[in-house]
Amino acid sequence: MRSPLRTIETKQQLRQIPLKWILIVPFVLQTVGAVGIVGYLSYRNGQKAIENLSDQLMSEVGHNITHHLDTYLEVAQQVNQVNKKVIQSGIINPNDFEKLGKYFWQQLQSYDFTYINYGNEKGEFIGTGYVKKNLEIAELKLPKNNILYSYKPDNLGNRIYPPVVYKGQNPNKAPWYLKAKETDKSIWSPIYNWADVPEEIAISASAPVYDSSNKLLGVVGIDLSLSKISDFLKKLKIGKSGQVLIVERSGLLVANSNNITPYQLSNGIAKQIQIKDIEDSLIQSAIQTINHHFDNWQNINNQDDNIFISNNNTFVQVVPYQDNYGIDWLIIIAIPKSDFTAEIQRSIKQTILLSFLTLLGTMIIGVLTAQHITKPILRLLKAHESFREGKLHEFVPENTNIKELQILSISFFDMANQIQQAMSQSENRYYQLVQQQTDFILRSQPDTTITFANDSLCDALGCTLEQIIGQKWIKFANSEDLETILQKISLLTPENNSFFSENRDKRSNGEIGWTQWINQGIFNEKGQLIELQSSGRDITKLKEIQIALTESEARFQKIAISSPEIIYIVVQRPDGSQYFEYISSAVEEILEVSPEEVLTNPDSFFNQFYPDDISNFERAVLESIQTLSPFHHEWRMITPSGKLKWLQANDRPELRKDGNVAWSGVMLDITDTIESKYRLEKLAKHIPGVIYQYRLSPDGKTSFPYASKGIEDIYGVTPEEVKESADKVFDVLHPEDKDNILHTILESASNLTPWYCEYRVCRQDGQIIWVLGNSTPQKEIDGSIIWHGYIMNITERKQIEIELAQAKEEAEAATKAKSQFLANMSHEIRTPMNGVVGMAQLLSMTQLTHEQGDFVKTIKYSADTLLTIINDILDFSKIESGMMEIEENPLILEDILKSVGHLFYKQALDKGINLTYSINNDVPHEILGDSSRLQQVLLNIIGNALKFTQQGNIIISVQHNQYNHDTSELIISIKDDGIGISGDRINKLFKPFTQADASINRKYGGTGLGLAISKNLIELMGGKIWVESNGNIGGNPPQNWILESITRSSTFYFTLPIKKVFISQKGLKKIPEKPVIEIITTKSKSNLTILLAEDNQINQKVALLALKKLGYTADVANNGLEVLQMLEKKFYDVILMDMQMPEMDGVTATKMIRQSSTRQPHIIALTANILENDRQICLFAGMNNYICKPIIINELKEALHKVTIIT
């Protein structure tokens, strides 16, 4: 607008212009120009504000996403490292899957992971995590490593049984395992879909785990579900319709803020999709914008934090994201421009409309006077100045009768209000973004008064925003950290306006947390601090991990300090210079130099080398560098005090990225070992045989690091020839012994058990000698096995052993021949005895006078005595020849005691002896054993007790001794009131053919074999037998056995180990008066047809008469051939078959009968062969029963009665 001050010439010229134009034209031009400029500037400022706001918004979003990824992904790698150190340090045994699974469960309570697991080289697996939102502890373990057991944990992490069983997969074939194993470092696996949950894609953090010898134990891993990243992105507020994508540089979708599924299911398996295939206009616009600026997404510079680009429709920001473990992603943030420009576009349209109306009004009222125009315009200019100063509330719309000015005033006010609303909306969006942050946002005054805090900070402090505003934040800070923080605040200046801090604060749950803050000071134009803006994040868990690592480092330092070996890390640069990164305090004890001196001046260590050993040491170092193989070397050093020390180093080299080679290992002081070796060599010269060390390396090579000179006498080689290789020793081993030697060596190496072997050596002079090797294995740090031992020439001993073996074979053959002779003699004696016993039985069944009856009893008693002698001699012969076999069958001890009691019942009753037994309650009801042999022992001992007891009691007692869960035994005692045993005879009681006194044999009879047989039977059953009498003990009592009170009577004891137990209740019982086996009588004569096959006429007569007494008749066949002929003519129900007959024996005849297809008779063996082997031969041939000669009529009757029942 022109100034009212004019020159006279100008006024005169203006007077020449019509007033209409003077008023209309300048006013219109000024108005149009002012409105146009204001509209243009408003548009440009709005556009720039939009770009700045969108850039700020997307940068903030990008920062939040990057921070979330850092936290989410880095924590997984950090926890992996903790798990790796826990296993490598031995805190948790990697083979203890029970403990390891519970440990992983505890970690899942603190971290938002999907799965934590560990797999080893054996294909075993243990893991804890969520499968389809269900928490499990899964285990796959040898020998069934193809079966996966899934346990549901309780609230304490303990497994709940039974587990769910799935088909397992070998974990060391999985990508997360293989990639960590191949790269030998912590990595991220490629994105994959779970085998358990095909519709889920995930990524795994993996780290290899090694033992102390750097052998791979397995891989620890943590699985992260990518859907959790998408869940986080969906929570972000990005304008009205903005989206965020995380993609790989190949274009494969990782996560997104929309409801787009980042995978497609193909045959039930999730596969990532390309973002170019997503049918979304905003995403496609963003892709076109990126492709327009970058030819290849691989070229997007990862040095830039943010790349901001746009087109006509879309704002796009690309944030490259990488970490140290292999992740290389792009974060793409896309926002439609319409989200920001909609309001401004509407304002522009309104401004244009109002400008047009203003122009029209100006032209209509232009005729009005300048006074009516100037005053409102001046007021409008004043309002404009107030608006510029932010004092919008001071402006009130002008009320004027000039319509155009009134409209202009109202338009200006409306536009100002719209701008204020736009700024208010922008501030609201900023507030929402701040409140959505998981990080802490804090604004405070210089005196620490809080002016703003976001919800995350309020939640952590346990306060509402209203409660925290106006409070001083020093109230929540840890008092120990305040001084440092306040000092840093006091040092803030406009030039140095920020600082970083980590401090503790008090949380709502009463715990102390750690927060990491970035603090920014805000200064006014005078340089005064007016506000402190702070952004922080919770690092409590990170601090806990750091504390755990610090404690682990402290434990290592304690171990290193207490270790007698020198633990070290030495580094050699590419130029050949060397220095120590670490050396333990043991160096001061061994080499008389402090660790600090070695670290600052490595020459203080290297200058102690023995001059003659330097060249060999340097060659070994060079070889280790060239091959990166483990360094193992021994050399001498001279300490500052002049002592000569032998050192042995064992370490493993590592080639670093900077070209340096670092060795980590231990040095041992082996001075005493070397000196002992020299003394050993000196001693070995005077010792026969070979003293040696034998080494088996992990690569299979063998050698003798040490061998005394005696090796030349045995193998014909020198110690130097086998120091590097043992091949020359193996070349002279006997070919038939090599396989056994190698097998025993490998077995000893596998189990670390002593090696003992006898073998032959083929010497160069053609002589074959026997040697004995004996040594103890020891595992070295490098995995080698070294044996320390000796080898002796045992050729003479072997020759003696061979001669003894031959003599033993001859003795055994003689024993067997004697046993066979006795068995034959038994058969020959029993054959005539059958006539004697049989006739005596038949005679006793006739009408006899008292004297005749006495004669028959004498004959019967004498015959029974003779049979007992024969049976005892046979039993003793079988025991002596080793042919006696003990059976193991279920038996009931009480039944055996009753059976023996029945046998002696009549005899005890006649002598007035009270025969009883007692069984303790804890004695098992049923055990495994040989019932017949146990009965034989009881018969011998109880028979002797009855024989030597005239009156009183005979008590049988059974007790049970339980040593542990699997081992127990029975103690059976037989106590009598007899004559006892004298002290000089008791020790000979269990020897064969021996009795307590020669007079006993004369008075009581007997062979003296009964107790010897009983002793051998008890020992064959694994027990012991002994006797107490007159204060003396004979036999083999237990070591801790205490002698009972001295009595004249005798007590026999024997033990029986129990192999199987069934619990029952026992008590003291009287021997029942009724016999166990009743004589079975038939009510009527049988009409059985019987054939007697017997070649001896006396035996034929006895058998026929016995059958006649029983009511049977029989035909006679003299041999097996006649039996077959008679069967062709007539069928017989029963055949009584002798075994030994001329022309054809009974066994052959039985086999031929059983092979025929005709009706089969019942065949009973009737033989004088009483050995168990003979019984088995008969039954195997097809006979149905077995009766020994001499024939006992009741036994024959019982056998025929059974036939009658069967028939």
What pLDDT is stored for residue 101 in this prediction? Answer: 92
Of residues 915 and 418, more confidently modeled: 915
Alpha carbon distance 238, 317 (integer Å): 12
Q: pLDDT (tens digit, 9 = 90+) per residue, 190-214?
A: 888 765 666 678 899 999 999 988 9
What average pLDDT does the segment 770-776 reach? 92
What pLDDT is stored for residue 528 in this prediction? Answer: 87
* 488 CB neighbour count, 10 Å cutoff: 14
Using the predicted structure, report yes or no on whether residue 787 has a pLDDT greater than 90: yes
Alpha carbon distance 945, 878 (integer Å): 26
Alpha carbon distance 697, 252 (integer Å): 49
- Exposed e or buried b per residue across 655-687, where buried means at least 16 C-beta atoms within 10 angstroms of its C-beta: eeeeeebebbbbbbbebeebeeeeebeeebeee
Contact in structure between 911 and 950 (CB atoms under 8 Å): yes
What pLDDT is stored for residue 1002 in this prediction? Answer: 41
What average pLDDT does the segment 729-748 reach? 92
* Residue 3 CA to its chain's centroid (Å): 97
Contact in structure between 666 and 568 (CB atoms under 8 Å): yes
| SS3 call for 148 | strand
Q: How far is CA 916 from CA 254, 680, 1073, 1201, in A?
A: 90, 70, 11, 33
Provide CB contacts within 8 A for 1167, sequence distance 6+: 1138, 1139, 1140, 1146, 1174, 1178, 1186, 1187, 1188, 1189
Selection from 516, 640, 650 nearest residue 588 by Cα: 640
Contact in structure between 1004 and 947 (CB atoms under 8 Å): yes
What pLDDT is stored for residue 1016 in this prediction? Answer: 84
Structure tokens at 552: 């682990």
Contact in structure between 1185 and 1165 (CB atoms under 8 Å): yes
Average pLDDT along the chain: 80
Of residues 167 and 543, more confidently modeled: 167
What average pLDDT does the segment 571-580 reach? 91
* 317 CB neighbour count, 10 Å cutoff: 23
- Containing H/E element for 780? none
* Residue 516 CA to its chain's centroid (Å): 40
Alpha carbon distance 1186, 839 (integer Å): 21
Q: What is the DSSP annotation of 993-1059?
A: T--S-HHHHHHH---S-HHHHHHHHHHHTT--EEEEETTEEEE---TT-------SSEEEEEEEE-S
Backbone angles phi, psi at 505, to 5 degrees: -145, 160
pLDDT band, very low/low/confident/very high, at 369 (cuts 50, 70, 90): low
Alpha carbon distance 1078, 1203 (integer Å): 17
Contact in structure between 26 and 2 (CB atoms under 8 Å): yes
- Exposed e or buried b per residue across 1069-1082, where buried means at least 16 C-beta atoms within 10 angstroms of its C-beta: eebeeeeeeeeeee
What average pLDDT does the segment 809-835 reach? 68
Alpha carbon distance 292, 153 (integer Å): 54
**Does the global pTM surpass 0.85?**
no
Q: pLDDT (tens digit, 9 = 90+) per residue, 326-367?
A: 898 888 888 887 776 666 666 666 777 776 677 676 666 655
Using the predicted structure, report yes or no on whether residue 572 has a pLDDT greater than 70: yes
Q: pLDDT (tens digit, 9 = 90+) per residue, 46-60?
A: 667 666 766 777 777
Q: Can you name the CATH fold of 687-791?
A: Beta-Lactamase (3.30.450)
What pLDDT is stored for residue 1177 in this prediction? Answer: 85
Q: Which residue has the tokens 């039993």?
A: 875
Contact in structure between 520 and 497 (CB atoms under 8 Å): yes
CATH of domain 889-1058: 3.30.565.10
What average pLDDT does the segment 784-794 reach? 90
Alpha carbon distance 114, 129 (integer Å): 5
Q: Which residue has the tokens 């004027």?
A: 400
Least confident segment among 444-448, 556-560, 796-800, 826-830:
556-560
Q: Catalogue the long-range contacts made by 180-184 (C-beta closer than 8 Å, 24 or more residues apart).
A: 180/206, 180/207, 180/208, 180/219, 180/221, 181/208, 181/216, 181/219, 184/208
Contact in structure between 53 and 343 (CB atoms under 8 Å): no
What average pLDDT does the segment 462-469 reach? 80
User: In this structure, what DSSP letter does residue 1072 have?
Assistant: P
The terminus-to-terminus CA distance of the chain in angstroms comes to 148
User: In this structure, what DSSP letter does residue 470 have?
Assistant: T
Alpha carbon distance 179, 185 (integer Å): 9
Using the predicted structure, report yes or no on whether residue 762 has a pLDDT greater than 60: yes
Omega cis (within 30) before 1161: no
Structure tokens at 328: 């290389």
Q: pLDDT (tens digit, 9 = 90+) per residue, 856-900?
A: 777 776 676 676 666 766 666 667 666 677 888 898 989 889 888
Using the predicted structure, report yes or no on whether residue 994 has a pLDDT greater than 50: yes
Using the predicted structure, report yes or no on whether residue 1063 has a pLDDT greater than 60: no
CATH of domain 228-339: 3.30.450
Selection from 1103, 1101, 1075, 1078 nearest residue 1090 by Cα: 1103
pLDDT band, very low/low/confident/very high, at 434 (cuts 50, 70, 90): low
Using the predicted structure, report yes or no on whether residue 997 has a pLDDT greater than 90: no
Of residues 954 and 1176, more confidently modeled: 954
Residues paired with residue 770 on neighbouring β-strands, in sequence order:
760
Using the predicted structure, report yes or no on whether residue 1204 has a pLDDT greater than 70: no
Structure tokens at 1124: 């077959």
Domain 1090-1202, second-level architecture: 3-Layer(aba) Sandwich (3.40)
What average pLDDT does the segment 993-1006 reach? 50
Highest-confidence range of 15-29, 301-315, 1177-1191, by mean pLDDT? 1177-1191
Q: What is the DSSP annotation of 1052-1067?
A: EEEEEE-SS-B-----
For the chain, how many helices (H) and strands (E)?
Answer: 32, 45
Q: Can you name the CATH fold of 560-676?
A: Beta-Lactamase (3.30.450)
User: In this structure, what DSSP letter does residue 988 have?
Assistant: G
What average pLDDT does the segment 646-656 reach? 91
Backbone angles phi, psi at 761, to 5 degrees: -125, 130
What average pLDDT does the segment 603-624 reach? 91
Q: Is 479 exposed, middle or buried (0-12, 13-18, 19+ CB in 10 A)?
A: exposed
Alpha carbon distance 925, 930 (integer Å): 15
Least confident segment among 496-510, 710-724, 1104-1118:
496-510
Structure tokens at 397: 């719309």
Using the predicted structure, report yes or no on whether residue 9 has a pLDDT greater than 80: no
What average pLDDT does the segment 288-307 reach? 73
Domain definitions of the chain by residue range: 228-339, 439-539, 560-676, 687-791, 889-1058, 1090-1202
| SS3 call for 637 | strand
Contact in structure between 497 and 511 (CB atoms under 8 Å): no
Provide CB contacts within 8 A for 1148, sequence distance 6+: 1120
Longest dimension (CA), the chain: 196
Q: What percent of the chain has pLDDT over 90?
A: 20
What average pLDDT does the segment 553-566 reach? 68
Q: What is the DSSP annotation of 104-140?
A: HHHHHTTS--SEEEEEETTS-EEEEEEETTEEEEEEE
Alpha carbon distance 339, 240 (integer Å): 6
Residues paired with residue 382 on neighbouring β-strands, in sequence order:
none
pLDDT band, very low/low/confident/very high, at 1045 (cuts 50, 70, 90): low
Domain 439-539, second-level architecture: 2-Layer Sandwich (3.30)
In 360-511, DSSP assigns E strands to 440-444, 450-453, 498-506
The answer to whether the 228-339 and 687-791 domains have the same CATH topology is yes
What pLDDT is stored for residue 173 in this prediction? Answer: 84
Of residues 756 and 815, more confidently modeled: 756
What pLDDT is stored for residue 1079 in this prediction? Answer: 31
Q: What is the DSSP annotation of 1138-1169?
A: -SS-SSS-HHHHHHHHHHSSSPPPEEEEEES-
Q: What percent of the chain has pLDDT over 70?
A: 77
What pLDDT is stored for residue 1126 in this prediction? Answer: 92
Omega cis (within 30) before 719: no
* 549 CB neighbour count, 10 Å cutoff: 14
Of residues 1113 and 418, more confidently modeled: 1113
What pLDDT is stored for residue 221 in this prediction? Answer: 94
Residue 159 region by backbone torsions, left for phi larger than 0, else alpha for psi between -120 and 50, else beta? beta
